[in-house]
Structure 1
Amino acid sequence: MPASPRFRLAFATSVLVPGIHPDDAHLADCLRERGIEPTACVWNDPAVAWTGFDAVLMRSTWDYFQYYAAFLQWLDRLPVPLINDRVLVRWNSDKRYLLDLAGQGVDIIPTRLTTAADLPACTRATAGRELIVKPTVSGTAWHTVRGRAGEPAFEAALAALPREFHYLVQPFLAQVLEEGEWSLLFFGGSYSHAVIKRPAAGDFRVQGEFGGTSQLADPPAHVLASAQRALDATAALGHGDVAYARVDGVVVEGGFRLMELEMIEPYLHLGVRPDAAERFAAQLAERLGGS
């Protein structure tokens, strides 16, 4: 690395993971080799001088949804560019974007939007069916409820949810348990690699915090094509410049159904694909004006 870096890149983190996450360690090393100094900065730390950086790469801001109003204010005040710009991040921070993508012809998990007050009526319309209910602004299964419509335990769990949020109501898909959930990674619009995520026995959540596991896998051609269509639909909605994205979904009756499109702080599974970290570093260098 040169004695004096040509560029300074803030890795926006959180108090949950204040430093550079181990999965991003090789990415950070690759950036240093290109004269870019990555520095971990907790996104809502008032002591951070953001003007000292050339740009901000959001990485482990894994609590932003818990402080959503402050997060949006931070986005508005940030004095330097975001990798994945702030308009894209705002749009992607509320899962109502799924309905926007459905309007572009993307096959999503069937999704209904409702207020907390209307949750009982919304879920009773599918009495007997197993459902997932989550806030439109959430992550890591925060305030997420799984249960069968009409059953007392499920109704009690719904009644305990915060009243100020809007919620997505979706069918629970047994395919997540049986076959796993796909995550496909894209950098600069180009496919990089994919993993299959599976929940721990007795759970439905695929996140590592809950015992979920992931392994590298080659997606079938139709899964890759469907993931690409989701990004094409994002571009059609006015978000054409996407530096990084993770497309999550599950195969249902032979077709890929989009569950989430992660463009803010996705776990990128770089630790198992060092070459992907190297390609991403090269792209970031180009964006910053380096080589």
Structure 2
Amino acid sequence: MPASLRFRLAFATSVLVPGIHPDDAHLADCLRERGIEPTACVWNDPAVDWAGFDAVLMRSTWDYFQHYAAFLHWLERLPVPLINDRALVRWNSDKRYLLDLAAQGVDIIPTRLATAADLPACARAMAGQELIVKPTVSGTAWHTVRGRAGEPAFEAALAALPRDFRYLVQPFLPEVLAEGEWSLLFFGGHYSHAVIKRPAAGDFRVQSDFGGTSQLAEPPPNVLASARRALAATAALGHADIAYARVDGVVADGGFRLMELEMIEPYLHLGAWPEAAERFAAQLSERLAGRALTC
């Protein structure tokens, strides 16, 4: 029988997925059993009374990067704590954090920063290489292009990108197609489970929106160790209390190359690993009880 209500937890969502996502359904049930009522709230809905909740867990805010200034304003005005706090979310919302991690010794995919105006020159300096270009603030392959530097079609794609963004320029790693991309899930700093994601035939994007698939897999020891180093580097940068994280990367040249750290609204693959939802619910219960929750 569910426990009596102790806390109200807002699941921040978006107009894309306004309710509790099916992958989070078991997590929501586990929370209710612990006396925590999860309520889906669209993050930019002005009618939501955020002060009526004990905390906010960001889940399917999958359009925040399309409304970035409003999102940052919303973060600052939230009257209750965030699970994964504000400073961590701000830092993680701009992929320039990859360079911060590289400075800490994390093995990332080689990354250059460029304005839209500088993209042609940046591409010319990497002539002949197959590249991926994406905004520093983005998600779900938004405004992401792939092509070979120097080819007219790629130059045209670069010219068509929005002019007011900054971009990451990275070599495309064919291992994504051949071997897939790893996602390792951590809760409270402890490894939980992992999946390997593969793109659909003829595509390079591993997201399910584009036909990509994922399956549970056990990461090799070096992959797990590399993921832990990325989280340790994040802690060294001042973000030690990480309630949940997804570490994405690919094995290339015998080592794990970090592609992204997802600590805002990652798909957690809880439907494939229900025990993870139960552990996460237990951790959230402890945080809401005041033992680990901070503003």
TM-score (normalised: structure 2): 0.97
* Cα RMSD (Å): 1.0
Structure 1 residue matching 2:248: 3-state secondary structure: strand
Distance 1:115 1:93 in 2: 18
What's 1:106 paired with? 106
Aligned equivalent of 2:92: 92
- 1:124 deviation in Å? 0.6
What's the CA shift for 1:290? 7.6
Deviation at 1:284, TM superposition (A): 0.1
Q: What is the aligned partner in structure 2 of residue 250 from structure 1?
A: 250
**What is the Cα deviation at residue 121 of structure 1?**
0.3
The equivalent residue for 1:16 is 16
Shift of 1:137: 0.1
Partner of 1:56: 56
Give, as a single letter, the amino acid of the residue that structure 2 aligns with 1:170: Q
How far apart, CA to CA, are the structure 1 residues paired with 2:274 and 2:3?
Answer: 25
Say whether the 8 Å CA contact 2:102–2:108 is kept in structure 1.
Answer: yes
- 1:276 matched to 2:276? The reply is yes
Query: What secondary structure sits across from 1:56 in the alignment?
Result: strand
Q: Deviations over 1:185-212 (max 9, x none)?
A: 0000000000000000000000000000
Q: Where does structure 1 differ by over 6 angstroms across 4 or more consecutive aligned residues?
A: none
Cross-structure match for 1:241: 241
Q: Please report how far the alpha carbon of residue 2 of structure 1 lies from its aligned counterpart in structure 2 after TM superposition.
A: 5.1
Aligned partner letter, 1:193: H
Structure 1 residue aligned with 2:158: 158
Q: For structure 1, list consecutive stretches of 5 or more residues without a partner in the other structure.
A: none
- Letter matched to residue 245 of structure 2: A
> What whole-Å deviation, never above 9, does each CA across 1:4-57 have from its counterpart, x for those lacking one?
511000000000000000000000000000000000000000000000000000
Distance apart, 1:86 and its partner CA = 0.5
1:196-230: CA deviations, max 9, x gaps?
A: 00000000000000000000000000000000000
2:75 aligns with 75
Per-residue deviation, 1:267? 0.1
The match for 1:121 is 121
Secondary structure, counterpart of 2:106 in structure 1:
coil
Corresponding position of 2:216: 216
Q: Distance in 2 between matches of 1:271 and 1:154?
A: 38
Q: How far apart, in 2, do the equivalents of 1:3 and 1:197 lie?
A: 37
Residues 229-276 of structure 1 deviation map (CA, whole Å, 9 limit, x = unaligned)? 000000000000000000000000110000000000000000010000
**1:144-197 deviation digits (Å, cap 9, x = unpaired):** 000000100000000000000000000001000000000000000000000000
Q: Which amino acid aligns with 2:223?
A: V
Secondary structure of the structure 2 residue equivalent to 1:214:
strand
Map residues 144-155 of structure 1 onto 2, 5 A cutoff: 144-155=144-155
In structure 1, C-alpha distance between the alignment counterparts of 2:196 and 2:203, rounded to whole Å: 16
Deviation sequence 1:57-103 (CA, Å, 0-9, x none): 00000000000000000000000000000000000000000000000
Q: Compared with structure 1, are the counterparts of its residues 100 and 290 closer, same or farther at alpha carbon in structure 2 (3 Å cutoff)?
A: closer
CA distance in 2, matches of 1:166, 1:67: 15
Aligned residue-pair number? 291
Alignment of 1:133-212 (within 5 A): 133-212=133-212
- Equivalence for 1:285: 285
Percent of counterpart pairs with the same letter? 88
Letter in 2 for 1:155: E
Alignment gaps of 5+ in structure 2: none
Letter in 2 for 1:239: H
User: Normalising by structure 1, what TM-score?
Assistant: 0.99
Partner of 1:46: 46
Structure 1 residue 3: deviation in Å? 7.4
